[in-house]
């Protein structure tokens, strides 16, 4: 990432490895070509290498990208000054000060530029100036850092200030030759052992600055020639950059809040504009993208929503954003995809997107949306498959196979008929008959009940249901089903025969003409019936049953109550109570 490359460049610059720093900044620029700070930093590194033409190009790019940033003009002035164009340097520094009048670095640069502009043309270096020129080469920092005796000097601010003064003006070398540290470095650069000021060999420089007494014994005229110390610049713009970053984030948050307020007011166009502004200010918060995506959903702009969600997921992965934010983006994308679905297959990509969101964060709202989309897909599949004509053809094929007693094959055709037309009660009735023949009573009962649900006036459905209940030895329930059918068709012979068979079985049980095992089986089934359970747990009915055993006269009085009589009949039909 650009931030990582920039951090490496900053570290290399701080260590004096300017070539390496420039390479890292170049890598960062390739990843973030619109970041003005990166060009500024590379300009500083190139200027430190005395590649002023390249430094000028980067400084001009910095100003182009961020014309209201004072630091860019500082870079521009330094590059012009390095190229010997003092007048352009003065103009650059003045522009920077117009933006930031209190900037000490710009003030110092302007002063140097004005001095250079006023100075007469200089001849080539000779004498001390020629020696001072060697302090301007890039190998200076490498040699100082590689020598154990001089390496600690790089951590001493006053020594670093002296080196910068010599680099800026080689003639200043004479001012600092009384400092043993400078003599140590000069000896290192010349690869010789120089004599001290008084003719004796100089001792290796200490890792600490000279004591105050030594600094005070310098000749007065030397002191007078020393330039006023300039505030050390911040070559990597770390403070300025961090400050600007915080300001951008704060401004982006305000735009987001304004967007949220507009969204609540249904002012979607305004909300979009605020979220877009927030993104331009801060691209490290994907909530601006997901919020804008939500607005696009409300506006029916589903394609734009999907694009924003894809960007949010991609950017979120780069930033290692919270998995909940990634899940939110995927959920909103799934919603947009579902809105765009025109056929059942279109729902597949929406379902897949919701499932991805759930792998990031199992949010109840996302799970609910997934279930809704899956139901919508199933309903649409049924609608797409719906064809009453083919359904009738399949039903006729099932009827033929039923007559041939090929019940499993008949069930297949009835099932296909129901897929083509799930609202035909006749097919449910016919398939229930097949299940009855195969002894699959629960499946048959379910089909018979569905048949009556679709058409409560379809008498054949009552015949099917009553027959299945009879075979399940639920004679009381079968009796109720047959009687319900007779209300619609009192002369229906199948229903009348069903009632007769149920009465025979109930009376047979009452007379004790069934085996104990069969009676026990019927009672066990009855005890699983919620209605029977409610009757037996009713305090009034419990007292009635006690009276039947202990007080027959009171029991006769209870039978005068139609409700009690109906419940007693229910217990008798179920085999729970036997009348003797």
Give the model confidence (pLDDT) of 139-174 as tens digits: 677 678 777 778 788 788 888 888 877 777 777 777
Which H/E stretch holds residue 220? helix 220-225
3-state secondary structure 482-502: HHHHHHHCCCCHHHHHHHHHH
Domain with CATH 1.10.260.100 in the chain: 524-579
496-543 per-position pLDDT tens digit: 999 999 888 878 776 666 676 776 776 677 777 787 778 878 888 888
Confidence class for position 410, pLDDT limits 50, 70, 90: very high
pLDDT winner (highest mean) among 5-9, 68-72, 276-280: 276-280
Q: How far apart are CA 319 and CA 314, in angstroms?
A: 9
Residue 138: its pLDDT value, please?
58
Weakest mean pLDDT among 113-117, 175-179, 295-299, 339-343: 175-179
DSSP state of 203: P
Q: How far apart are CA 111 and CA 90, in angstroms?
A: 8
pLDDT at position 470 over 70: yes
Residue 366: its pLDDT value, please?
95
Q: Which of 192, 197, 203 is nearest to 222 (CA)?
A: 197
263-293 per-position pLDDT tens digit: 999 999 999 999 999 999 898 899 999 999 9
Residue 57: its pLDDT value, please?
93
Which H/E stretch holds residue 184? helix 180-190
Do 45 and 56 meet the contact criterion of CB atoms below 8 Å apart?
no
pLDDT at position 8 over 70: yes
Do 436 and 468 meet the contact criterion of CB atoms below 8 Å apart?
yes
pLDDT at position 467 over 90: yes
Q: How far apart are CA 452 and CA 447, in angstroms?
A: 9
Averaged pLDDT, 458-462: 94
Quick one: CATH architecture of 386-514? Alpha Horseshoe (1.25)
pLDDT at position 212 over 50: no
Do 104 and 229 meet the contact criterion of CB atoms below 8 Å apart?
no
Weakest mean pLDDT among 235-244, 460-469, 484-493: 235-244
Confidence class for position 229, pLDDT limits 50, 70, 90: very low
pLDDT at position 200 over 90: no
Q: Which of 339, 314, 335, 336 is nearest to 325 (CA)?
A: 314
CATH 1.10.260.100 fits 524-579, yes or no: yes
Averaged pLDDT, 554-562: 76
The class level of CATH for 243-345+352-358 reads mainly alpha
Phi, psi dihedral angles at 201 (to 5 degrees): -60, 135
Averaged pLDDT, 480-507: 91
Q: Which two tokens stand for residue 331?
A: 């959920």
Q: Which fold has domain 1-118?
A: 1.25.40
Domain with CATH 1.25.40.10 in the chain: 1-118, 243-345+352-358, 386-514
CA torsion angle 462 465 470 475 (round to 10): -70
User: What is the percent of the chain where pLDDT is above 90?
Assistant: 45
Do 54 and 39 meet the contact criterion of CB atoms below 8 Å apart?
no
Cβ neighbour number for residue 114 with a 10 Å cutoff: 16
């Amino acid at each position: 990432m650009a931030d990582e490359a920039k951090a490496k460049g900053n570290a290399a610059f701080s260590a004096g490895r300017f070539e390496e720093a420039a390479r890292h900044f170049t890598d960062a620029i390739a990843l973030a070509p619109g970041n003005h700070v990166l060009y500024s930093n590379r300009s500083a590194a190139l200027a430190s290498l005395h590649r002023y033409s390249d430094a000028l190009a980067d400084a001009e790019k910095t100003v182009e990208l961020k014309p209201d940033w004072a630091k860019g003009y500082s870079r521009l002035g330094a590059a012009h000054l390095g190229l010997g164009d003092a007048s352009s340097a003065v103009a650059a520094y003045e522009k920077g000060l117009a933006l930031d009048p209190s900037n000490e670095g710009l003030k110092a640069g302007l002063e140097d530029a004005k001095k250079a502009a006023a100075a007469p043309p200089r001849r080539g270096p000779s004498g001390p100036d020629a020696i001072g020129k060697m302090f301007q080469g890039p190998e200076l920092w490498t040699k100082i850092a590689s020598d154990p005796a001089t390496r600690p000097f790089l951590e001493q601010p006053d020594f670093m200030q002296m080196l910068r003064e010599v680099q800026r003006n080689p003639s200043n070398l004479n001012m600092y030759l009384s400092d043993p540290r400078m003599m140590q470095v000069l000896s290192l650069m010349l690869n010789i052992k120089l004599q001290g000021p008084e003719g004796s060999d100089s001792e290796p420089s200490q890792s600490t600055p000279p004591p105050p007494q030594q600094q005070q014994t310098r000749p007065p005229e030397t002191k007078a020639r020393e330039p006023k110390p300039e505030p050390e610049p911040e070559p990597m713009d770390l403070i300025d950059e961090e400050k600007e970053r915080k300001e951008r984030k704060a401004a982006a948050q305000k735009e987001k809040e304004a967007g949220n307020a507009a969204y609540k007011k249904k002012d979607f166009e305004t909300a979009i504009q605020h979220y877009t502004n927030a993104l331009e200010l801060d691209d490290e918060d994907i909530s601006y993208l997901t919020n804008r995506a939500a607005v696009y959903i409300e506006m029916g702009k589903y394609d734009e929503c999907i694009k924003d969600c894809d960007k949010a997921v991609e950017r979120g992965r780069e930033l290692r954003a919270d998995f909940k934010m990634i899940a939110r983006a995927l959920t909103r994308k799934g919603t947009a995809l579902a809105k765009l679905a025109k056929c059942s297959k279109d729902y597949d990509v929406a379902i897949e997107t919701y499932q991805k969101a759930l792998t990031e964060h199992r949010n109840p709202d996302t799970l609910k949306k997934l279930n809704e989309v899956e139901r919508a897909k199933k309903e649409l599949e049924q609608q797409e498959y719906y064809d009453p004509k083919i359904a009738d053809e399949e039903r006729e094929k099932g009827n033929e196979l039923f007559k041939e007693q090929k019940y499993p094959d008949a069930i297949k055709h009835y099932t296909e008929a129901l897929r083509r037309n799930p609202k035909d009660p006749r097919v449910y009735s016919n398939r229930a008959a097949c299940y009855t023949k195969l002894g699959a009573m629960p499946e048959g009962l379910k089909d018979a009940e569905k048949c009556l649900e679709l058409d409560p006036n379809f008498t054949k459905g009552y015949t099917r249901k009553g027959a299945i209940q009879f075979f399940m030895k639920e004679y009381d329930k079968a009796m109720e089903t047959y009687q319900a059918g007779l209300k619609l068709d009192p002369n229906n012979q199948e229903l009348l025969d069903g009632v007769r068979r149920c009465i025979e079985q109930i009376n047979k049980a009452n007379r004790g003409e069934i085996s104990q095992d069969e009676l026990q089986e019927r009672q066990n089934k009855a005890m699983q019936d919620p209605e029977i359970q409610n009757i037996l747990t009713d305090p009034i009915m419990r007292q009635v049953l006690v009276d039947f055993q202990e007080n027959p006269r009171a029991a006769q009085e209870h039978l005068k109550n139609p409700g009690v009589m109906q419940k007693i009949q229910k217990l008798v039909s179920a085999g729970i109570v036997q009348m003797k």
